[in-house]
Amino acid sequence: MRAISSSQVLNHGFSSTPIRRPSYGFSGVSFPRKLFVCKANSVEFKADGSASFTTVPPTLLAAEKEEAKAVLTLFLRKQGLSNAASTRTINKADHFIAHLISKLHSIHKSRYLVGRELTTLEIRNSLIPYLESLLEEHGNILVDVVEKFPHPPNKETPTAPATPTTTKMTMTMTTNAPELINTKKLRAIARMSNTGSKSNLPPHVPYLIDLGMDHEQIKDITRRFPAFAYYNLDRKIRPVVDFLLELGVLRKDIPTILIKRPQLCGISLSENLIPMMAYLEELGVDKKQWAKVIYRFPALLTYSRHKVKVTVDFCSELGLSSKSIGKVLTRCPHIISYSVDDKLRPTAAYFCSLGIDVGSLLKRCPQTFGLSIEANLKPITEFFLERGFTLGEVATMVSRYGALYTFSLVENLLPKWEFFQTLDYPNSELVKFPQFFGYSLEERVKPRYKIVKDCGVKLGLNQFLSCSEKEFHKLLEKKLKRMCDDGAECGEVSEVGSALFETGL
pLDDT, tens only, 39-70: 333 444 444 444 444 455 666 777 788 888 88
What contacts 262, CB < 8 A, 6 or more positions away?
A: 221, 224, 225, 228
For residue 441, the model assigns a pLDDT of 95
What pLDDT was estimated at residue 196?
A: 53
pLDDT for res 152: 61
Question: Rounded distance, CA 410 to CA 107, Å?
Answer: 41
pLDDT tens digits for 186-203?
888 888 886 555 567 888
Which range, 96-100, 274-278, 495-499, is most confident?
Answer: 274-278
Whole-number pLDDT of residue 487: 54
What is the b/e burial string over 430-449, where b = at least 16 CB atoms within 10 angstroms of the residue's CB?
Answer: bbbbbbbbbeebeeebeebb
Task: Assess whether pLDDT exceeds 80 at residue 206.
Answer: yes
| DSSP calls for 68-97 | HHHHHHHHHHHTT--HHHHHHHHHT-HHHH
Q: Which of 125, 79, 122, 123 is nearest to 101 (CA)?
A: 123
What is the per-residue pLDDT for 21?
Answer: 29
pLDDT of residue 25: 33
Give φ, ψ of 285 to 5 degrees: -65, 130
* Cross-strand partners of 35: 17
Please give the average per-residue pLDDT across 227-252, as a whole number. Answer: 93
Q: At a CB cut-off of 8 Å and minimum separation 6, what does 294 contact?
A: 244, 247, 249, 257, 300, 301
Q: Is the pLDDT of residue 180 over 70?
A: no
Q: If you average pLDDT over residues 361-390, what whole number do you get?
A: 95
Most confident range (mean pLDDT) of 83-97, 144-158, 455-469 is 455-469
This prediction has a pTM of: 0.61
DSSP-assigned letter for residue 327: H
Average pLDDT value for residue range 148-168: 52
At 84 the pLDDT is 77
pLDDT of residue 113: 60
The yes-or-no verdict on residue 133 having pLDDT over 90 is no
| 153 cis-preceded (ω within 30 degrees of 0) | no
**Amino acid identity, position 420:** F
Maximum average pLDDT range among 1-10, 44-53, 78-87, 224-233? 224-233
The pLDDT of residue 182 is: 61
Q: What is the pLDDT of residues 90-130, one digit of tens each?
A: 888 888 998 898 888 888 776 666 566 777 777 887 888 88
